[in-house]
Chains A and B, each alone.
Chain A
């Protein structure tokens, strides 16, 4: 398996623009997580899905952030409008099953820079 795939790997955009990050989980995995990593705040869970349904989005920083999972093989994280403080590495991870014991398999991350 190719593992979790994220695109783009790097994104540079200007403040105010819309940004869409994409994730393809490992085939057969039932859970998907979006994280944000910064030097200041470390690794933060933004939202996670079980069987394509959003379970907990309490980590989403504000209404400018939205996430969707239209099917089991694709998810997006959208920021509109983007701001410089959104600059971070965004990780997607998937899990086989929905239990807490399952290992999360992380993608390579998307480094977002908002100018």
Chain B
């Protein structure tokens, strides 16, 4: 079974600074997609960014970007110019035709 590992239970960043959240995964499949979801205190899960495994180019959405290293099975999320509203739990997720898994999450605190 595929596994998704987020090795940082908690992270902290100063407002306006940059932070990187780590995610690694294990799979034998070649066709899959990777996602980062944000869960603020409201509990609502919100998609932050997604990456197709067959694309070498790293996905970017405004202040959010990923560093996708397919050979290393690594999928980290970089948040630039952190804002107070970025404080939340962040979940890395893996999806293929046969599987859907989430990591344990990283709690991000943003300090003013």
Residues of chain A at the chain B interface (Cβ within 8 Å): 33, 42-45, 48, 56, 89, 91, 93, 100-101, 103-104, 106, 108-109
Question: Are A45 and B45 touching (Cβ within 8 A)?
Answer: no
Q: Which residues of B contact A91 (CB under 8 A)?
A: 45
B96 is an interface residue with CB less than 8 A from chain A? yes
Question: Are A33 and B100 touching (Cβ within 8 A)?
Answer: yes
Question: Are B52 and A101 touching (Cβ within 8 A)?
Answer: yes
Question: Are A100 and B105 touching (Cβ within 8 A)?
Answer: no
Task: List 14 additional A-B contacts (Cβ < 8 Å) besides A89-B43, A109-B43.
Answer: A42-B102, A42-B104, A45-B101, A48-B100, A93-B45, A100-B32, A100-B33, A100-B97, A104-B47, A106-B44, A106-B45, A108-B42, A108-B44, A109-B44
CB-contacts of B74-112 with A (<8 A)? 91, 95-98, 100-105
Q: Which residues of A contact B31 (CB under 8 A)?
A: 100
User: Total A-B residue pairs with C-beta atoms closer than 8 Å?
Assistant: 40
Alpha-carbon gap, A103 to B52, bound state (A): 12
Interface residue tally on B, bucketed by range? 20 to 34
Residues of chain B at the chain A interface (Cβ within 8 Å): 31-33, 35, 42-47, 50, 52, 91, 95-98, 100-105
Q: Which residues of A contact B91 (CB under 8 A)?
A: 43
Q: State the majority secondary structure of interface residues on A.
A: strand
For the complex formed, measure the closest distance between the CB of B52 and the CB atoms of chain A, giving whole angstroms.
6
Q: Which residues of A contact B96 (CB under 8 A)?
A: 100
Q: Which residues of A contact B101 (CB under 8 A)?
A: 45
Question: Are B100 and A101 touching (Cβ within 8 A)?
Answer: no
Alpha-carbon gap, A48 to B97, bound state (A): 12
Alpha-carbon gap, A45 to B91, bound state (A): 14
Q: Which 3 A-B pairs have the closest CB atoms?
A: A106-B45, A43-B102, A42-B104
Q: Which residues of A contact B50 (CB under 8 A)?
A: 101, 103
Q: Which residues of B contact A108 (CB under 8 A)?
A: 42-44
Alpha-carbon gap, A75 to B43, bound state (A): 21
Question: Are B47 and A103 touching (Cβ within 8 A)?
Answer: yes
